[in-house]
């Protein structure tokens, strides 16, 4: 255990100006995410989930406040360091899968490893292993257009894990999937979270996520409304 907290935010805020109005997408978020934790961020659309995802992922700059990844303030990183952070420390999973359409499944998984400078043989070996792990051992050379939504999301999970990141950030990973496939994807993410000890942060309004999350953060209007740990939820359910 190198650092206790993988992600920390301090008074994190992001304002957008839309004409004369200022939209407070995030307004003072203080959050600490422990290493290996499975955290779900819940809230209605427009509550700031995706903005939080972008801030923690180093994809956008906050208006105010700080984000620390493994105790490093990412506002202090330059473009090169930020690219390295995205490549090596963070794995992204999106609602729309976002695979590179011209590349096969295995090539998609190898792409982050190319950026990281992993030798070719090792890339192939690791990408194959990861795809087998998510249950796509027989789909290595299919292009995204030849795969179902659930299969594409599995490729995306394998790709997110390619460089052994510290954090997996998933933005509504099950929103474009049916109930059953969504459950399978959640299952895979939880298993890998426990197997590899990778911290998982998902923005979601999928209630199926509650069962697997260690903690749930409820956002409303850019603020943390409340935080529940799994024990509390279990008690609540008993009471009902």
Partner 1 sequence: MSAAPSLEIGKITLPFGEAFRIAMEDIRRRFIRMMITAASVILAVGFMDALLVLTAVGSAMGGQAASLKPFQLWILFISLLVCVVGIMNSMLIAVAERTREIGTWKCLGALDRHVLLLFLIEAMLIGLVGGIAGWFIGIITGLIYSFQPNVGIAGVTEALTSPSVIALPGLSFLPSIVSMLLLSLLIAISLSMIGTLYPAYRAAKLNPAEALRYEV
Q: What residues line the site for partner 1 (CB under 8 A)?
A: 8, 10, 50, 54, 57, 59-60, 66, 68, 70-73, 77, 79-81, 83-88, 92, 94, 96, 98-103, 111-112, 114-117, 159
For the CB of residue 47, give the shortest distance to partner 1 in the complex, in Å.
16
Surface-to-core class of residue 224, CB atoms within 10 Å of its CB (0-12 exposed, 13-18 middle, 19+ buried): buried
Q: Among residues 76 and 180, whose Cβ is nearest to partner 1?
A: 76
Q: Among residues 38 and 94, whose Cβ is nearest to partner 1?
A: 94
Task: Give the CA distances from residue 138 to residues 105, 122, 127, 158, 214, in Å, rounded to whole numbers and listed in that order.
Answer: 10, 19, 13, 14, 33
DSSP string, 207-225: GGGGGT-SEEEEEETTEEE
Q: Among residues 149 and 230, whose Cβ is nearest to partner 1?
A: 149
For the CB of residue 8, give the shortest distance to partner 1 in the complex, in Å.
8
Q: Among residues 110 and 186, whose Cβ is nearest to partner 1?
A: 110
Rounded distance, CA 154 to CA 124, Å? 17
- Buried b / exposed e over 126-140, threshold 16 CB at 10 Å, is bbbebbebbebeebb
Rounded distance, CA 138 to CA 128, Å? 10
Q: What would the two tokens of residue 126 be? A: 């690791």
For the CB of residue 207, give the shortest distance to partner 1 in the complex, in Å.
25
User: Would you tell me how many other CB atoms lie within 10 Å of the CB of residue 52?
Assistant: 29
Surface-to-core class of residue 19, CB atoms within 10 Å of its CB (0-12 exposed, 13-18 middle, 19+ buried): exposed
Q: Among residues 11 and 211, whose Cβ is nearest to partner 1?
A: 11
Element spanning 98, H or E: none
Q: Among residues 112 and 182, whose Cβ is nearest to partner 1?
A: 112
Q: Among residues 72 and 124, whose Cβ is nearest to partner 1?
A: 72
For the CB of residue 81, give the shortest distance to partner 1 in the complex, in Å.
5
For the CB of residue 93, give the shortest distance to partner 1 in the complex, in Å.
10
Largest CA distance in the chain: 55
For the CB of residue 160, give the shortest distance to partner 1 in the complex, in Å.
9
**Rounded CA Rg of the chain:** 18
For the CB of residue 152, give the shortest distance to partner 1 in the complex, in Å.
13
């Amino acid at each position: 255990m190198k650092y206790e907290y993988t992600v920390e935010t301090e008074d994190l805020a992001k304002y957008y100006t839309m004409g004369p109005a200022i939209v407070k997408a995030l307004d003072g978020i203080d959050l600490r995410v422990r290493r290996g934790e499975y955290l779900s961020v819940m809230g209605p659309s427009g509550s700031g989930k995706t903005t939080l995802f972008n801030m923690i992922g180093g994809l956008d700059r906050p208006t105010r406040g700080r984000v620390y990844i493994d105790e490093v303030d990412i506002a202090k990183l330059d473009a090169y360091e930020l690219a390295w952070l995205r490549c090596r420390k963070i794995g992204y999973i999106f609602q729309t899968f976002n695979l590179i359409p011209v590349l096969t499944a295995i090539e998609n998984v190898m792409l982050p490893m190319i950026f990281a400078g992993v030798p070719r043989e090792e890339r192939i070996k690791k990408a194959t292993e990861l795809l087998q792990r998510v249950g796509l051992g027989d789909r290595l050379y299919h292009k995204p257009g030849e795969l179902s939504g659930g299969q594409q999301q599995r490729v995306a999970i394998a790709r997110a894990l390619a460089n052994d990141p510290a954090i997996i950030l998933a933005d509504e990973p099950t929103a474009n999937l049916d109930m059953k496939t969504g459950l399978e994807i959640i299952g895979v993410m939880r298993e890998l979270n426990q197997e590899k000890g990778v911290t998982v942060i998902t923005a979601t309004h999928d209630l199926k996520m509650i069962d697997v999350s260690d903690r749930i953060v409820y956002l409303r209007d850019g603020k943390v409304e409340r935080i529940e740990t799994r024990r509390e939820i279990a008690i609540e359910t008993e009471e009902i």
